[in-house]
Structure 1
Amino acid sequence: MSVFEILILVAAGFVSGAINAVAGGGTFIAFGALTLVGLPPITANATSSITQFPGYVTSTLAYRRELKVIGRAALPFLIVSALGGLVGALILLALDNPQFRAMVPWLLIAATALFAAGPRITRALKARQMHASPLVAWAIQFLVAIYGGFFGAGMGIMMLASLGLTEGEDFHRLNAIKTLLSVVIAIIAIIVFVNGGLIAWSAAWVMLIAVAIGGYLGVAAARRFPQAWVRGFVIAVGLFLTVYYFVTG
């Protein structure tokens, strides 16, 4: 990598870490930067999964008290998430770059729309407007995990929606389970991607360090801006990448 490419990845990693800590959506930034420095779409997607992993782990540790209370209730979600993440990652592994490249703009516009709708989904869940049996919730979570293992952007919003069907209105509880499931899906996907040789390790390490620093130091800076501004920035990036992939496709 050139010095300029390293600087792009460092800046994107820092911003990604800070945004994830405040509003979520850092995957858009990481994926966009990795494609900008010339990585093929599948490699960029797989590598961005690794760069976001430390954030999932630290968030899960922050919710360890809630997770102790939840206990075995999370086990069915863990099982279907592991299976779904495996299916999604294997589907990605079976594609070639031209095939995945054709899907990217559609995945990005769907993920951007989900991210933009996040606050409304949150309000709907708080109002308990949706109810379902555990089997339905587990089935939906399996589908969400397939998406998460395959692409990942917007996965958190999807999981909040699926978990809200059965897990009550306590958002700390929902977020605790969501972060734990994110770790499981990410671990499974990363194992598949590493074994499949899809990770660009030099770019991954640069971004991992930058994401960690951004998540720790960038929060104070990001909090100076209204969360709506931060979310707007992420949505703008998602729309820009969508247009870019449609135009260059």
Structure 2
Amino acid sequence: MNPMFLTFSAGMVAGAMNALAGGGSFVSLPALIAVGVPPVQANASSTVALFPGGLASAWAYRDGLRPVGAVSLRALLATTLCGGLAGALLLLHTSSAAFTFVLPWLLLVASIALAFGRRIGEALRARWQIHAHAVLAVQFALGVYGGYFGGAVGIMMIAMWGLLDNRDLKHLNAPRTLLVSAANMVAVLAFIMANAVRWPETLTMLVGAIVGGYGGAHIGRRAPAGIIRAITLLATSCITLAFFVKTYAPTLLHH
């Protein structure tokens, strides 16, 4: 298959997934690796390719921006930017071999967050409350994760904020999209400045992601949410399993 066609198609699917239920990086990252982009560069390029779609979502939600509990949005934004930069720099100093080793576990964490994030958040809210000063420490850690990898980080943010804010979770979508985009933005700038982006594949995927995101938004208005979620979870689970097999099966067979 032509590499540019593959990256464009993967971008379309990833953009549609992000518009529908999240998890687009589960498609964009493996596609870039499949066309020969080294793993660390593939992760950086995937972040750049999917960034405009996330930025558009943040702009669409701008009217709903509010503080999260007693924590100001400005403090959360500054903390997330610092964490995102730290995560991006950590990725740039990670070898391809080390990233390949840890990637299946990152995908597993993101898969669990996609599948059970809301339930875990509800269970935690029923038992615990988190103090406002602790939110910024956790937010910094989530910013690091967002800059380094970022899969399902928005769901993780909402689960954590739910321990502080009793608002309907739908009202947390606006700060979620802004802060996820903030972590991605500083990571994108770091990746570009470090020349860690493979531009031909990235630009092709970026165009596909815009097309897919637009189409996904229209599909989301008509398709049942349960079916969309089931397909997303099936796809992410299969991709995660495939990376575990690819990474660890040769070692197990050798022993």
Q: What TM-score does the superposition give when structure 2 sets the normalisation length?
A: 0.88
Q: 1:230 to 1:36 in 2, by over 3 A?
A: farther
Deviation at 1:55, TM superposition (A): 1.9
Gaps (5+ residues) in structure 1? none
**AA at the equivalent of 2:200:** S
User: Which residue is equivalent to 1:193?
Assistant: 191
For residues 231 and 156 of structure 1, what CA distance do their matches in structure 2 show? 16
User: Which residue is equivalent to 1:176?
Assistant: 174
User: Which residue is equivalent to 2:88?
Assistant: 89
User: Which residue is equivalent to 1:106?
Assistant: 105
Out of 103-112 and 51-60, give the one that drifted further: 51-60
User: Which residue is equivalent to 2:115?
Assistant: 116
For residues 127 and 31 of structure 2, what CA distance do their matches in structure 1 show? 38
Contact kept, 8 Å, 1:85 with 1:147, in 2: the verdict is yes
**AA at the equivalent of 2:61:** Y
Report how many aligned residue pairs link the two structures: 245
Deviation at 1:43, TM superposition (A): 1.0
User: Which residue is equivalent to 2:154?
Assistant: 156
Q: Residues 33-54 of structure 1, C-alpha deviation per residue, up to 9 Å, x if partnerless?
A: 1122221111111111112211
Q: Residues 85-139 of structure 1, C-alpha deviation per residue, up to 9 Å, x if partnerless?
A: 11111111111100111001111111111111134246558x7654211111111
Contact kept, 8 Å, 1:29 with 1:234, in 2: the verdict is no
For residues 122 and 2 of structure 2, what CA distance do their matches in structure 1 show? 42
Contact kept, 8 Å, 1:112 with 1:238, in 2: the verdict is yes
- Of 41, 62, 65, the residue aligned with 2:63 is 65
For residues 139 and 122 of structure 1, what CA distance do their matches in structure 2 show? 18
**AA at the equivalent of 1:134:** A
For residues 129 and 75 of structure 1, what CA distance do their matches in structure 2 show? 28
Between the two proteins, what is the percent identity of the paired residues? 36
Gaps (5+ residues) in structure 2? 248-255
**AA at the equivalent of 2:202:** A
Contact kept, 8 Å, 1:105 with 1:241, in 2: the verdict is no
For residues 204 and 136 of structure 1, what CA distance do their matches in structure 2 show? 37
Deviation at 1:162, TM superposition (A): 1.9
CA RMSD of aligned residues (A): 2.1
For residues 170 and 219 of structure 2, what CA distance do their matches in structure 1 show? 24
- Secondary structure, in 3 states, of the residue corresponding to 1:162? helix
Contact kept, 8 Å, 1:81 with 1:185, in 2: the verdict is yes
Contact kept, 8 Å, 1:23 with 1:230, in 2: the verdict is yes
**AA at the equivalent of 1:47:** S
Deviation at 1:79, TM superposition (A): 1.4
Q: Residues 155-174 of structure 1, C-alpha deviation per residue, up to 9 Å, x if partnerless?
A: 11111112222233232431
Contact kept, 8 Å, 2:83 with 2:140, in 1: the verdict is yes
